[in-house]
Amino acid sequence: MSENNKGQPREHERELSDMNLDVLELFSQLTEADQQHVVRLLQALAETSG
């Protein structure tokens, strides 16, 4: 039974690590999308003011 208890935290840590990587990947995608959106907004602003 102690073997099982030792294995569970490791599996739980692995799942958390995988979720953290997923969150970081999503955050990276959002950041890239935000940057592209800001660039488009700046381009539109430059076109309307120029």
Q: pLDDT tens-digit profile of 2-49? A: 455 566 779 989 999 999 999 999 999 999 999 999 999 999 999 998
The predicted model scores a pTM of 0.60
Task: Determine the Cα–Cα distance for residues 40 and 33; give it in Å rounded to an integer.
Answer: 11
Range of the domain at 48: 1-50
DSSP H helical ranges for 1-50: 2-49
SS3 1: coil
Q: What angle do CA 21, 22, 25 make, to 5 degrees?
A: 85
CA distance 3 to 12: 15
User: Count of domains in the chain?
Assistant: 1
